[in-house]
Structure 1
């Protein structure tokens, strides 16, 4: 993909409206805990069939009347066709949906520009500081919780951010005292998306080293890493969406492979796909679900 010839004509990109999705061996009724298979065939904007793979697709189904949803897996056959598999987790009805998260041509362009050392600049939006979801509401008074928000340090794509509050995540980790029993949630994602992948990879390495030091001096601390989430737009009109999400997920898993037994990884990608999350900042409903999932893990260990 990185050696693809540069294509400036967007009509050659895969088109969601021109592409098709059909059931494979369709049935009138499907069995609970069974699977549904779909075939996806991609066409470009001039309805020409795509003859190679590499486009990033997502697949999900949901029943809004029951509040039920599940994400599927997609297999790329490298010829413009894809097979999707969904597991049936509830009884009733469901609507199956698929989306093109990113075209092959767009990904190739992004990689070429970033390898040249360019930074992809979104349209800026003024910001006088940082906001955090916990600021939207109060925590229950019976919980002895004292939240602390520590911005993760540069890169930070704010126009007028409070730079005195910005310090790298690994610095915050190194300042936690010995014997701490805190719950530490680490999340790095959207602010890194306009920078080359090696920037994110290097930052995760420093965080992993700081985590190892912290676990030695505070063995009862709970360390949680929140993985990337799916979104399609950004309040600053950044068009990258969740493009790097799956790649960031792979980087985090590889970097922390030796700490799987000590660090909790909060994988929320499918949750946001099935919740049809659109903005870089998840909805209040998704935030509540993530918090319940978080405390479900930390309270069981």
Structure 2
């Protein structure tokens, strides 16, 4: 068995990588130190070097479908002639984008993913470096032995990303939320949004106070007898989708650019070892490792024989260990339907009983509590605040996360999971940033009054396009926002890098399948229960 890679002396900082020849030096260092653990500094390489919003807003929308990156003609090639690699060795590939007429593209900004796939369900994610000239570098590591294939996917084109920024800046949202006003038999539905910008010239209800201090505005109802104070619900049952394209070709450019497409070109290699068939982390996870969850380079783990092998540190995933960890505790889960899936997995695995109303169907949109009395374990799931696209629901359902966190009492030993992602994708990224800023502030105060609380934030996951407006392309942007807003909490909060795991799983749906939910939940509980799992306990 190959032991965990040892730590490099000193952090691998972005500043080093920006120096002349620094990328070559970085890659050669990884290749020479096959047993180097990727516990770098906080400022390690980003997943994707993105083009700024300012530049994308100035771009001219293209009407030429043939100019989009082609998954058929784009190429991924090895940086050397090697076909055989040692276990743990760094593997780098060059990725070159071509259009439908085999013309090379000379701009960056596309959202790509790269992964290494092997036999027996083996897979891992790599990092992408954008050179802003139509070429990219894929950085991977050989984590298991045998035959492997390197696969590249186009997740979103630069053209589609530019159009998204331009359209949501024009309309402010790509799917409307509506406000429902009701009093006795009176009812009226109007548009709502966390800004006044889309409502130029309209009379508005400022419902920010009712939304716990987060901006929220609705067009004032015109029905006689209905007032702003009669706001009762938010709804997506009566909405108009934006953007509305007048040109069919322009719409195709926008939509095709957001469809996940796999390169026809692939790289094949073989990994050998005389010491074991996989890399393995030999250290036990502890709260000290929270710091490294924010900076660890890909892959943060890998799948082998249908099992997730964490690369940073190890933790058990069996039910007995989880029951021991969760005894005499509360687990508070805040987020969307993907967090609800995790709640459901724990509920089923631990045979828990609903305290609140039993779920009617899988799409349950209300606050839920469950318990296991024999171990004194309580668990709750709360939908995050607006924007929330849960058909039609009472305004009290969409309670902002920071409000609930502020209610956790001093001295608590609760475990807290936070996730803001899919429902915010219809809006400009500043909306999720505003929410996360308040969440980070509340978490800071929580850890001051209850230092034994364990907090984890669930990062975005990669997935393909399943409908007109939502896709995993916002992932790298949201990662940057989360890391920025939580920059003072790296050593106190665990960051759950589900981007790596979902790229390795090749997820297509925003809702992971049962296997994906199981592995995501186990990663979360693995970090949340580090002290309980530690051998000294």
What TM-score results when the alignment is normalised by the length of structure 2?
0.52
What does residue 135 of structure 1 align with? 344
Instruction: Name the Cα RMSD after superposition.
Output: 2.1
2: distance between equivalents of 1:75 and 1:50? 16
2: distance between equivalents of 1:144 and 1:102? 46
What does residue 53 of structure 1 align with? 108
Shift of 1:109: 0.9
Q: In the TM superposition, what are the counterparts of 1:99-118 in structure 2 within 5 Å?
A: 99-118=153-172
Shift of 1:71: 1.1
2: distance between equivalents of 1:145 and 1:286? 24
For residue 91 of structure 2, the aligned residue among 12, 32, 36 is 36
Q: How many residue pairs were aligned?
A: 294
Q: In the TM superposition, what are the counterparts of 1:266-277 in structure 2 within 5 Å?
A: 266-277=496-507
Highest relative contact order (Cα 8 Å, sep 6+), 1 or 2? 2
Any unmatched runs of 5+ in structure 2? 1-54, 177-234, 238-335, 352-373, 532-537
What does residue 206 of structure 1 align with? 438
Q: Is the 8 A contact 2:458 2:497 kept in 1?
A: yes
For residue 4 of structure 1, the aligned residue among 59, 62, 65 is 59
Shift of 1:135: 2.9
What TM-score results when the alignment is normalised by the length of structure 1?
0.90
Instruction: State which drifts further: 166-175 or 290-299.
Output: 290-299
Shift of 1:224: 0.9
CA 238–181 in structure 1, closer or farther in 2 if over 3 Å, else same: farther
Structure number with larger C-alpha Rg: 2
Q: In the TM superposition, what are the counterparts of 1:79-94 in structure 2 within 5 Å?
A: 79-94=133-148
1:194-239 C-alpha deviation (Å, 9 max, x unpaired): 10111111000111111122222222111111011111134xx144
Equivalent residue of 1:193, what SS?
helix
Q: In the TM superposition, what are the counterparts of 1:134-283 in structure 2 within 5 Å?
A: 134-135=343-344, 138-141=348-351, 144-234=376-466, 237-283=467-513
1:84-142 C-alpha deviation (Å, 9 max, x unpaired): 121111111112100111111111111122233431129x987xxx8621336513257
CA 297–111 in structure 1, closer or farther in 2 if over 3 Å, else same: same
Any unmatched runs of 5+ in structure 1? none
Equivalent residue of 1:93, what SS?
strand
1: distance between equivalents of 2:132 and 2:465? 28
CA 170–94 in structure 1, closer or farther in 2 if over 3 Å, else same: same
